[in-house]
């Protein structure tokens, strides 16, 4: 199953109907627009597009809209604290758009360095991608590649204020569920998977 967040709503792609969702049997690409129209008008908060060949549908979906890629990380230190940024009134994780010719790994490290002023970061492993879509003259799919990153240093993290980041803070694992109450759905999905919070 694939999940694409749209504000607080969710579009899923699966090979069977979901009893909790507004289900759409895939026939053509126009149904992508129809699904987002339903979600944008808040008629429903969960739409499930289903097909026997959901991989083919997913490929069509990624080609149908403008598709940009980003990378970021869950950064941990030796005290098992986690690095969070606060931007636009919500708690988030450091991430940003990949630059041309950059690998996912290079992009994740560069973005964390730029947004948090930390160096000596060690990439541990790839975790998962998340997808969300937003509207800026057209629908744009943002695919973010997430990595587990380790930081062992004494630098004080500093926010990249020109990117709208107000603060960068190390947080204890016990604080994360409360932070997630004021975060984004894809960050909740990522951290719930990583920390087995659910």
How much is the pLDDT for 83?
A: 98
Structure tokens at 48: 């499930």
Contact 18, 12 (CB under 8 A): yes
In 3D space, the residue among 85, 182, 180, 48 whose CA is nearest the CA of residue 195 turns out to be 180
Give φ, ψ of 38 to 5 degrees: -60, -45
Q: Does domain 72-126+141-195 have CATH number 3.40.50.720?
A: no
Ranges of the chain with pLDDT below 70: 197-198
Record the pTM: 0.94
Give φ, ψ of 121 to 5 degrees: -90, 140
CA 147/CA 141 separation, integer angstroms: 20
How much is the pLDDT for 145?
A: 98
Give φ, ψ of 130 to 5 degrees: -125, 155
* pLDDT tens digits along 14-64: 999 999 999 999 999 999 999 999 999 888 999 999 999 999 999 999 999
Going from N- to C-terminal start, the domains of the chain cover: 2-64, 72-126+141-195
């Amino acid at each position: 199953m694939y999940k694409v967040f749209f504000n607080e709503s969710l579009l899923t792609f699966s090979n069977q109907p979901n009893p909790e969702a507004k289900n759409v049997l895939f026939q053509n690409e126009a149904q992508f627009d129809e699904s987002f129209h339903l979600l944008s008008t808040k008629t429903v908060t969960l739409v499930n597009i289903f097909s026997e060949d959901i991989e083919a549908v997913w490929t069509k979906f990624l080609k149908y809209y403008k598709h940009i890629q980003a990378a970021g990380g869950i950064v941990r230190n030796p005290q098992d604290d986690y690095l969070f940024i606060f931007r636009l009134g919500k708690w988030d994780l450091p991430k940003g758009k990949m630059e041309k010719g950059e690998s996912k790994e290079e992009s994740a490290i560069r973005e964390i360095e730029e947004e948090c002023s930390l160096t000596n970061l060690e990439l541990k492993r790839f975790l998962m991608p998340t997808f969300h879509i937003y509207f800026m003259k057209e629908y744009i799919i943002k695919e973010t590649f997430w990595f587990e990153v380790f930081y062992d240093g004494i630098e004080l993290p500093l926010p990249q204020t020109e990117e709208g980041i107000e603060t960068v803070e190390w947080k204890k694992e016990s604080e994360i569920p409360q932070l997630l109450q004021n975060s984004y759905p894809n960050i909740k999905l990522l951290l719930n998977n990583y920390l087995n919070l659910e």
